[in-house]
Copies of this chain bind each other. A is one copy, B any other.
Amino acid sequence: MIIKCMKQNLYNGVQTVYKAVPSKTTMSILECILITANSNGITLTANDMEIGIETKIEGSVVEEGIIALDAKLLFEIVRNLPDNEIIIETENNLSTSITCEKSNFTIIGKSGEDFSYLPAIDKKDPVVISYFTLKEMIRQTIFSISDNDNNIIMTGEYMVINGNECKIVSLDGHRISIRKVALKNSYDEKKVIIPGKTLNKISTILPSDMDKDLNIYFTDKHVLFEFEKTIVISRLIEGEYFNVDQMMSSDYETKVNINKKELLDCINRATLLVKEGDKKPIIISINEDNMQLKINSVQGSMNEEIVIEKEGKELIIGFNPKFLIDALRVIDDEKISLYMVNPKAPCFIKNDDESYVYLILPVNFNTVS
């Protein structure tokens, strides 16, 4: 194999597929990036058996061939070469030379035959969504998946496409996050559970362009994201997702309108007194026109008052401060509304058109403490 390409093109490509290289594995071939040079041009592939990324790069194929090169080494070498044309040339014994200007590296590759190819996906009926929208929906929900493999369903996000609506749901047993957006086109109903890991990677690879769209293809077992010259293929999580609609409710006894930043800053301050792993609740007293927040820990105590608008009953309720922080951090509205029923029922943070809904379960607390 002999290929020629500009450093920046190769570097961008390597950087993209590098995201699918597992950091720890016992199969050393998975630590490689596969370079394929044929009549279709130059393709880079990485595959950790759960998620695979493939990207095409500009350049010329002087001699067709395939080679698997250690991903980290390739990444570092390309990154450090001058900004000029790079020539990669393999010998029959897998020895591979990487040359740029007067600099020449020789490293030993692995046979491309040993590489695990990506599953072939029949690309039809893509769902079209903008880079920005998908990234935002992931950011605004990914924090409430579970990192506990005991319930594999909770480690993924539920994506429901119906008509021109796309909904993403995540939950971990203490809270539920839901985001909805309108799509430009209309589609038949699709319901899939996508691994959280896949969505995190997609998020880091996708540029933030607001005016560019990607295609998402679904099969029974896989999802394929296609954008620019790159495809990302991931397994889906099999099984039935939770019936989230059943957990929703629009009844409330207390509604609070509050400045989001003031509330978030205050809860952030309160958590300074809580050491990691220590489960101290923040106790919120909702009064006529203010909210009082209190926390007590071995390190000390904090209390603070925030001005609010209240509808309905006064209430004292306790929360895990982290759950409030996670949700508040991803809401962009300046003013938000909290809906509560009683100290044991879930609290909802949502806007009027329910394009976002965050359900958070309260925690028990001892009012005397």
Contact = CB atoms under 8 A, between A and B. Distances in A.
A73 B272 contact: yes
- Number of this chain's copies in the assembly equals 2
Given A80-B272, A269-B81, A272-B80, A106 B302 contact: yes
Interface residues of A, number: 28
Contact of A108 (B103, B107, B268, B300): B300
A156 to B, nearest CB: 34
Interface in A289-327: 299-306
A73 B266 CA distance: 16
A274 to B, nearest CB: 11
Contact of A304 (B104, B107, B266, B268): B104
A103 B301 contact: no
B80 A303 contact: no
A102 B300 contact: no
Given A269-B81, A272-B80, A105 B73 contact: no
A62 interface: no
A104 B302 contact: yes
Nearest to A297: B107
Contact of A300 (B81, B82, B106): B106
Given A73-B299, A272-B73, A266 B103 contact: yes
13 contacts: A73-B272, A76-B272, A77-B272, A80-B265, A80-B269, A81-B269, A102-B305, A103-B304, A104-B304, A105-B269, A105-B300, A106-B300, A106-B301
Interface of A: 70, 73, 76-77, 80-82, 102-108, 265-266, 268-269, 272-273, 299-306
The 4 closest A-B pairs by CB, nearest first: A107-B300, A103-B304, A102-B305, A76-B272
